[in-house]
Amino acid sequence: MALLQISEPGQTPDPHQRRIAVGIDLGTTHSLVAAVRHGVAECLPDDQGRVLLPSAVRYLGAGRRAIGHAAREAEAEDAENTLVSVKRFMGRTLVDVAGHARLPYRFVDRPGMLAMATRDGEKSPVEVSAEILATLRQRAEDSFADELFGAVITVPAYFDDAQRQATKDAAQLAGLNVLRLINEPTAAAVAYGLDNGSEGLYAVYDLGGGTFDISLLRLTRGVFEVVATGGDAALGGDDFDHALADWALAQAGLQAGTAQDKRAVLVAARAAKEALTDAGTVTLQATVGGEPLAVPVTRAQFDALAKPLVDRTLSAVRKALRDAKVGREDVQGIVMVGGSTRMPCVRTAVSEFFGREVLTNVNPDEVVAIGAAIQANALAGNARDGELLLLDVIPLSLGLETMGGLVERIVERNSTIPVAKAQDFTTFKDGQTAMALHVVQGERELVGECRSLARFELRGIPPMAAGAARIRVTFQVDADGLLSVSAREQVSGVEAAITVKPSYGLADEQIAQMLKDGFAHAEDDIAARALREAHVEAERMLLATRSALAADGALLEAEPLAAIDALLLALEQARRSDDAAAIEAATKALADGTEHFAALRMNKGIRQALAGKTLDQV
Amino acid sequence: MRLEDDDFTLFGLAPRFALDRAALDARWRALQAEVHPDRFAADGAAAQRVAMQWAVRVNEAYQRLKDPLKRAAYLCELRGARIDAENNTAMPAAFLMQQMGWREALDDAASIAAVEALEADVRAHERRLLDELAATLDEQQDAVAAAGRVRALMFVARFRQDLERRLETLESSA
């Protein structure tokens, strides 16, 4: 006979003793998954002991694909069908991608986001990223022999709304529950901050394969506050490879005509660059058009090629310092992140700029994933309460197009999120009954120079004289940095709202279609998956509500308490059925029905935490 | 503590212009540590929504209180003196003359150093105006006069944005 567990009075039995949550660094050149095991955050290796998964997917035809190392090895010989560094195409159209003509892909321009034609059909960067995420998810589930509770996924701090949304879509496609998107430099600081226990102003210099980020963070008593971010979403180690490859070809008087040649020279350039970290001179070797290419490169020659790129990073650093209104001497430490910071010329330039040695004692490839894992563990409720809180800012201003193609900024960049801002607009013509709203992101004053995020219309405004209508537009940015916009005419109460799904248009039904098409879930039946997700969500809600009642049920009068009990019972009953829609409806009813209770608990929590304390104790 | 409380009450601060920035920052972190949605990641949709509302409210108050100009404008409004900057643009002649002088100096400034020198000048002037504003609000308790000074400072703030934009242009072309 099984023994029944009895918990102590006042304590909530928790069937999920420990929830498995992972941190994922979805990188341009490679990706990693990490988790906290036995109190230590570590990267999870694959079955051959490797932690780095090359961010490469090769489409083999007939729905088969090779992911990671196998794909990377075939890069030179099957360049068109081997997609690498797709992170720089996330949420991007062809015109956004500088130098795309040099890349060996057959790009397909689509509104909102480009795609690449392969022998298996057109693939969007979201689909390619989802393949990589699904592989990492599988690796984690194999490591723990259990399902994941959720994941924290990192994005460059500089990612705009479209790029963040694309990342979240890829995770959803890969079947991951996203606990939070966090900025890569923040994750790196988490990894360092907890190791070193330092307080003060820190800079995180993150030069990855395809993106450069500079973040200024203030660390105070377990709170990581991003005070400013900046960078360049199209500058990274790949650019150093390109610079070296172009130079080597020019030295040899050769041209790379075919996709295969281009890829071969790039691979050779990357190898030469990496070798120059330790050696003074190397020879770049490749085969171009059947001809052998062998160009000796000294470190000084490479440093000269790299200098314009390094200088571009430093001007972004200056801008971030200016945004934060601090001098370079105020920075107490510089965390180096990303494999490209192994280049001696980068370390020297950054050390000289700040006038102090940069920090490099955590593996720059792993540091982001490790920080993400620590945060995932805290969000899953495994860490002690109050240990870690990340307060992020929005990287780029959000605004609306106004008359004459000008931008009215509504949410300023570097505002702490979550944030909501409202602004009133009015009509321009007499009797105007509709208003077109164009949401943009960026720092420039002209709409044409900002990124267009979404367009929507507010219709049914009662005819009034020009300037009489009061249209309140509200921007809300959640903790992941994702935007929703609503508009309401104040006199008539007419409303329109949009969750800014960037115009590349992976609508929910398209994601559902991709899942149905067997993406990453070949064996999975879509209905079964929906039912399982409904069950998980219902359980989560039941558990959360019962714990809340056990802790704070006394806050409720008899009547609302009975109402919540009834909703609990209804969900319990619905859960026993196989009707996903009914379970979802009952879960939603419980969530809606407990909102007032949640507000009461929040008030109590704040009062307890803060009341009676003098300010210097806080 | 309620969502509808004014910013000063929410942050447990006296409703005056002078403010201890360290205390404000500490209070903000303490409040966020209680209300941030991440604290409720495993707690279901209702708790998430409430947390979102609170975190937004706390950030809104923090942004307003930490910016001296926004804080002053908010205090004026709390004391019944409207700022109404769009419709009330009348400024003393001396102030307008100085604005024109600055604009001409900016037009003539061709180097980063020249713009930075002008910026230092404007900053010093802005600090003096803020000191006067502090006295008007906290000592003379004259919200109507303070609202006038807030409007003047809004002009200065806008000019400083122009200065920063010029600096960025000069640096990106350098």
The 10s digit of each residue's pLDDT in A528-566 is 777 877 887 888 888 889 888 988 889 989 899 999 999
- Residue type at position A537: E
pLDDT of residue A142: 93
The shortest CB-CB distance from B50 to any of A541, A593, A602 is to A602
Q: Any idea of the CA torsion for A228, A231, A237, A240, to the nearest 10 degrees?
A: -140
pLDDT of residue A522: 43
Name the β-bridge partners of A436: A457
Its CATH architecture, for the domain B93-173, is: Up-down Bundle (1.20)
SS3 A8: coil
pLDDT of residue B141: 92
Query: Does residue B34 register a pLDDT over 50?
Result: yes
Instruction: Give the mean pLDDT of A223-248.
Output: 85
**Closest Cα in chain A to B12:** A615
Q: Which phi and psi (to 5°) does residue A385 adopt?
A: -60, 145
Q: First vs last Cα of chain B: how many Å apart?
A: 52
Query: Does residue A196 register a pLDDT over 60?
Result: no
Cβ of B59 within 8 Å of Cβ of A418? The answer is yes
* Cα atoms in the Cβ-side hemisphere of radius 13 Å centred on A243: 18
Residue A337 banded pLDDT, cuts 50, 70, 90:
very high
User: Does A206 participate in catalysis according to the annotation?
Assistant: yes
Q: Provide, as residue numbers in chain B, all residues whose Cβ is less than 8 Å from the Cβ of A536.
A: none
Q: Provide, as residue numbers in chain B, all residues whose Cβ is less than 8 Å from the Cβ of A308.
A: none
User: Does A25 participate in catalysis according to the annotation?
Assistant: yes
Does domain A21-195+364-383 fall into CATH 3.40.50.2000?
no
Instruction: Give the mean pLDDT of A17-28.
Output: 88
Beta carbons within 8 Å of A468's beta carbon, 6+ residues apart: A426, A427
Instruction: Give the mean pLDDT of A350-361.
Output: 93
- How many angstroms separate the CA of residue B94 from the nearest CA in chain A? 30
**Closest Cα in chain B to A180:** B38
Instruction: Give the mean pLDDT of A371-385.
Output: 83
Residue A376 banded pLDDT, cuts 50, 70, 90:
very high
Query: Does residue B76 register a pLDDT over 90?
Result: yes
Does B54 contact A at CB distance below 8 Å?
Answer: yes
Does B2 contact A at CB distance below 8 Å?
Answer: yes
Cα angle at A163 between A50 and A150, to 5 degrees?
50
Please provide the average confidence, as pLDDT, over all residues in chain A.
84
| Choice among A46, A131, A169, A206 that is catalytic | A206
Instruction: Give the mean pLDDT of A485-493.
Output: 83
Of A315-319, A479-483, A502-506, the range with the highest mean pLDDT is A315-319
Q: In the structure encoding, which two tokens stand for residue B117, read together?
A: 């020198």
CA-nearest of A175, A186, A171 to A479 is: A186
CATH 3.90.640.10 residue ranges of chain A are 237-304
Size of interface A-B (CB pairs under 8 A): 135
Query: Does residue A8 register a pLDDT over 60?
Result: no
CATH 2.60.34.10 residue ranges of chain A are 398-508
**Closest Cα in chain A to B60:** A419
CATH 1.20.1270.10 residue ranges of chain A are 525-609
Residue A160 banded pLDDT, cuts 50, 70, 90:
confident
- How many angstroms separate the CA of residue B54 from the nearest CA in chain A? 9
Q: Which fold has domain A398-508?
A: Substrate Binding Domain Of DNAk; Chain A, domain 1 (2.60.34)
The shortest CB-CB distance from A618 to any of B27, B35, B38 is to B27
Instruction: Give the mean pLDDT of A268-277.
Output: 94
Q: In the structure encoding, which two tokens stand for residue B173, read together?
A: 């072309």
Place of tokens 């008030």: A603
Does domain A525-609 fall into CATH 1.20.1270.10?
yes
Give CA separation, A19 vs A16, A33, A177, B120, in Å.
6, 16, 12, 54
pLDDT of residue A498: 66
pLDDT of residue A97: 81
Classify the phi-psi angles of A291: left when phi > 0, otherwise alpha if psi is within -120 to 50, otherwise beta.
beta
Domain regions of chain B by residue span: 7-66, 93-173
Does domain B7-66 fall into CATH 1.10.287.110?
yes
Give CA separation, A587 vs A225, A379, A590, A592, in Å.
34, 21, 5, 9
Q: Are strands A483-489 and A471-477 parallel, antiparallel or unpaired?
A: antiparallel
d(C-alpha B57, C-alpha B63), whole Å: 10
In this structure, chain A runs to a length of: 618
CA-nearest of A353, A328, A32, A45 to A188 is: A32
- Determine the residue among B31, B50, B60 to mutate to test chain A binding: the one whose Cβ has the most chain A Cβ atoms within 10 Å: B50
Residue A384 banded pLDDT, cuts 50, 70, 90:
low
Its CATH architecture, for the domain A237-304, is: Alpha-Beta Complex (3.90)
Residue A510 banded pLDDT, cuts 50, 70, 90:
low
CA-nearest of A96, A227, A104 to A163 is: A96
Residue A499 banded pLDDT, cuts 50, 70, 90:
low
Asked if A561 and A600 count as a contact pair (C-beta separation under 8 A), the reply is: no
The shortest CB-CB distance from B42 to any of A381, A386, A415 is to A381
Cβ of B47 within 8 Å of Cβ of A548? The answer is yes
Q: Provide, as residue numbers in chain B, all residues whose Cβ is less than 8 Å from the Cβ of A319.
A: 168, 171
Instruction: Give the mean pLDDT of A49-65.
Output: 93
Q: In the structure encoding, which two tokens stand for residue A284, read together?
A: 């770049």
Cβ of A609 within 8 Å of Cβ of B20? The answer is no
pLDDT of residue A417: 86
- A525-535: burial string, b at 16+ Cβ within 10 Å, e else: eeeeebbeebe
User: Does A184 participate in catalysis according to the annotation?
Assistant: yes
ipTM: 0.79
Higher pLDDT, A95 or B87: A95
- Least confidently predicted of A44-58, A65-79, A196-210, A348-362: A196-210
Cβ of B26 within 8 Å of Cβ of A389? The answer is no
- How many angstroms separate the CA of residue B47 from the nearest CA in chain A? 5
Instruction: Give the mean pLDDT of A401-427.
Output: 85
The answer to whether the B7-66 and B93-173 domains have the same CATH topology is: no
Instruction: Give the mean pLDDT of A137-154.
Output: 92
Query: How large a percentage of chain B has pLDDT more than 90?
Result: 43
pLDDT of residue B84: 79
Residue A7 banded pLDDT, cuts 50, 70, 90:
very low
**Closest Cα in chain A to B20:** A615
Q: Which pTM value belongs to this model? A: 0.75
pLDDT of residue A393: 76
pLDDT of residue A198: 65
| Choice among A184, A238, A239, A366 that is catalytic | A184
Please provide the average confidence, as pLDDT, over all residues in chain B.
88
Instruction: Give the mean pLDDT of B65-87.
Output: 89
Q: Provide, as residue numbers in chain B, all residues whose Cβ is less than 8 Å from the Cβ of A408.
A: none
User: Does A123 participate in catalysis according to the annotation?
Assistant: no
Instruction: Give the mean pLDDT of A83-112.
Output: 85
Q: In the structure encoding, which two tokens stand for residue B20, read together?
A: 């201890």
pLDDT digits (tens, 9 = 90+) for A559-580: 999 999 999 999 999 988 888 8
**Closest Cα in chain A to B50:** A599
